[in-house]
Amino acid sequence: MLATIIFYGLALLTVGSAALVAFSRNIVYSTFALLGAFMGVVGIYVLLAADFVAMVQLLVYVGGILVLTIFAVMLTAGIADVTVSNRAVGMAPALVVVFIAGGVMAYAALRTHWHVAAVVAPAPTTYGIGNAFLGDYVLPFEVASLVLLAALIGAIVISRHEARE
């Protein structure tokens, strides 16, 4: 079945890229692997009939956050020092913690009997999302703009280089 093949392809891309992000010794490889992870997640969103969220993910994550991360990587030194640019310590205890937490979550997710509704045919979602943003969710929507303004000002204040005398 075509959808299943597409899902496994996207899952392979996403998980492989995420593994490269988590295990690569070089911070530049990690950053570019993040691109593959984000693109795979965009495909998963499209598979879940969320076209608008997929486009928002593409614009904000790939076009914004990833570019910002690449800028930060390039602006901080140690790039040329390939072997130690992305040091990882304490792998064994971290693996134990991750396996315990992941096992508990897998048990909870797979043993629960989820009530699945009948899947509706995929339709454009922008109309409904726009109505929800200006209806039920208008207050969080306005607060979100305040949060973004605060983040903008905060980033300028934090990263501004103080002239010391």
Partner 1 sequence: MGGGIGLNHFLVLSLIIFSLGMLCVLTRRNAIGILMGIELILNSANINYLAFAFYGGGKYDGQIFAIFVIMLAAAEAVIGLAVVLAIYQNFKTIDVDAAETLSG
Compute how many residues bind partner 1; rule: CB under 8 A.
86
Residue 24 CA to its chain's centroid (Å): 18
Given 9, 22, 79, 124, the residue binding partner 1 (CB under 8 A): 22
Asked if residue 14 lies in contact with residue 41, where contact means CB atoms within 8 angstroms, the answer is yes
For 34, the 3-state DSSP assignment is helix
CB-based contacts of 45: which residues, under 8 Å, 6+ apart? Answer: 51, 53, 54, 57
Compute φ and ψ for 161, nearest 5 degrees: -85, 115
Nearer to partner 1, 41 or 80 (CB): 41
The reply to whether 146 sits near partner 1 by the rule CB under 8 A is no
Name the minimum Å distance from CB 157 to partner 1: 8
The reply to whether 34 sits near partner 1 by the rule CB under 8 A is yes
Largest Cα–Cα separation, the chain? 69
Nearer to partner 1, 80 or 109 (CB): 109
The contact mask relative to partner 1 for 87-126 (x = CB under 8 A, - = no) is xxxxx--xx-xx--xx--xx--xx---x-xxxxx-xx-x-
Token pair in block for residue 108: 């909870």
Given 13, 29, 36, 56, the residue binding partner 1 (CB under 8 A): 56
